[in-house]
Structure 1
Amino acid sequence: MADSKHRLGPRAQRGSISLSGTQPTAPSLLSRLFAKKSVKPGEQFGAPGQGRSGLISFATISLLFSLWVLITATGWVPPLFLPSPQAVFDKFILVSTEGFANATLFEHTQTSLYRVFGAFALACVTAIPIGVMMGVSRVARGVFDPPIEFYRPLPPLAYLPMVIIWFGIGEFSKVYLIFLAIFAPMAISARSGVRSVSIEQIHAAYSMGATRMQVIRHVILKSALPEIFTGMRIGIGVGWTTLVAGEMVASTRGLGFMVLNAAEFLASDVVIMGVIVIGLFAFTFDLLMRYLERVLVPWKGKV
């Protein structure tokens, strides 16, 4: 009997086929609702960081904004140090229409975006190839690694005077300063991504007849893409940080210039408004990079 029951399979054991000759019984609605479902890999034991955090992020932002409203409404902090959200919004409308420091908010934003994304594009076409070369060639690593590692820990303000002496106070010096700040993390991330490629994948490609360039293009570059995207996200963040330093010298427009100029006149509402605008642009670009990473690197975390 045990052997025949085993041969009938799991459906017979669950009661859909009765060994006693009675009619099969369908599972009840309650049992279907609470039936165990298939789980994703790692879900049974709880993978680290698994699950969506959008609702938590929304609650955090709402709490911080409510705290800001409460502090300014009760007068715990004087408006000189922390203006109310309404005052910041009114200043946003005023600067957008009438301008601040001889330029509207759109003109300040356009100038800063040109500087940051111009430097970012220049870093993408130079830092990523150099980082890949450093990862695949010991000669390139010996040539580029010492200068990059030497200036990488230096703050941009440390070599800002030298950049001004070399290139003057024009537009190129500001873009070049931001470019230097972005270049190092992007190159190092690309090199780290290349060095993290599994040697088994490289050997498998060579065993199937791939050339060195084919291995670099189809194996190494694709495996290094997650690290490259991480370096791009870090680099653009450093670029926005360096923007304020770059617009300290002989600037007449720009978000960083607007914030610094407003701070000299104790216009804290303009300062906070400028900081919020910079943060929104940086956060939006980071979300775009995350989306591109999900589309272009769908295998990240799965292999």
Structure 2
Amino acid sequence: MNASTTEISPKRTGATMPKRAAPQRQWTIRGALGRRPYAAYAILGVATPILLWAFLSEAAIVPKIFMPGPWDVLKRFWSWIANEGFAGDLGISLERVSLGFISSLVIALPLGLLAGTFKPAEAIIEPAMDFIRYMPAVAFVPLMMLWCGIGELSKVSIIFIGTFFQMVLMFADDVRKVPLQQIEAAQTMGGTRREIVYRVIFPSAAPALLTTCRITLGWAWTYLVVAEIVAANSGLGYAILKAQRFLQTDKIFAGLIVIGFLGLIQDQLLRALHHALFPYLRRQ
């Protein structure tokens, strides 16, 4: 045979055949997961409680007056949209949550940055924040009505109180997690305190700060119902409380689901913003 046509066996030459990459297990600790498996697991996580809810309702294990089925809630939700001013309730609740959360963020961010960077600021700020954050926000409702009246300011103030003090402490903790080596390196290169704070500490802490915003935004929605107790005549929380008086559990379910979806949408928007601003963390 010609040498050009002769097949050389890997066994004869001692060469090794390339090994196939072992399939990656999905349930490894902190392992990666593709988009399709992630979506499948997400659908499973959402569908399971809905199916269990439908089973309990249709099997009459729990009376429908206490637990209406998904179809009953959907019909009530459509009636709310068509005849009961859902758009107005949605708009006013979004406005209250946004104002309360943004006002809390604007004040809490610089305070948290100071408390996490300078020990004297920590000593001044954190004990007071720790003291007040244990006071239930609902206990401030009578005071807000006395101080702010029964208008929108009192409702926004309740949401502010429910988020501000925890936000300051969490921001300060995020700032303290910045590696000291980065600060020392900036000091070695002659950076001023202002430059170190705004060009080293804040950019390094920014991913954790945005994650804290995602968490505290959920608290803002939690305190919405509390805020709308204050002499409200509109809003999602007010609609839920009104439905409670008339034992309209299907509308209560509908209102809770709407608030959950709104919170989920805002959370995913902040998550997308996190990926867009800090893509290097996703690659890591």
Compute the TM-score of the two structures, normalised by the length of structure 1.
0.82
Of 207-216 and 108-117, the range deviating more from structure 2: 207-216
- What's the offset of the Cα at 1:49? 5.8
Give the Cα–Cα distance (whole angstroms) in 1 for the partners of residues 31 and 231 of structure 2: 46
Give the Cα–Cα distance (whole angstroms) in 2 for the partners of residues 302 and 187 of structure 1: 29
Runs of 4+ in 1 over 4 A off after TM superposition: 22-26
Q: Does 1:75 align with 2:75?
A: no
Give the Cα–Cα distance (whole angstroms) in 1 for the partners of residues 44 and 206 of structure 2: 33
Structure 2: gaps (5+ residues): 1-5, 11-16
Q: Does 1:274 align with 2:251?
A: no
Q: Which residue of structure 2 aligns with residue 201 of structure 1? A: 182
- 2:239 is aligned, of 258, 262, 273, to 258
Compute the TM-score of the two structures, normalised by the length of structure 2.
0.87
Q: Which residue of structure 2 aligns with residue 36 of structure 1? A: 21
- What's the offset of the Cα at 1:24? 5.4
Q: Does 1:60 align with 2:40?
A: no
Q: State the structure with more CA Rg.
A: 1
Q: Which residue of structure 2 aligns with residue 121 of structure 1? A: 102
Q: Which residue of structure 2 aligns with residue 171 of structure 1? A: 152
Aligned length: 272
Change (3 A) 1:301 1:188: farther
Q: CA-to-partner distance for each residue in 1:230-249, whole Å, 9 max, x for gaps?
A: 22122111111111111112
- Which residues of 2 match residues 46-195 of structure 1 at below 5 A? 46-48=28-30, 50-51=32-33, 53-99=38-84, 104-195=85-176
Q: CA-to-partner distance for each residue in 1:78-107, whole Å, 9 max, x for gaps?
A: 1101112111111111111111xxxx0110
The answer to whether the 8 A contact 2:57-2:69 is kept is: yes
Change (3 A) 1:36 1:162: same
- 2:212 is aligned, of 231, 235, 239, to 231
What residue identity is the alignment partner of 2:161?
Answer: L
The answer to whether the 8 A contact 1:131-1:191 is kept is: yes
Structure 1: gaps (5+ residues): 1-21
What residue identity is the alignment partner of 2:80?
Answer: V
Give the Cα–Cα distance (whole angstroms) in 1 for the partners of residues 172 and 183 of structure 2: 16
Q: CA-to-partner distance for each residue in 1:237-294, whole Å, 9 max, x for gaps?
A: 1111111111112100010000000001000011000000000001111111111112
The answer to whether the 8 A contact 1:185-1:234 is kept is: no
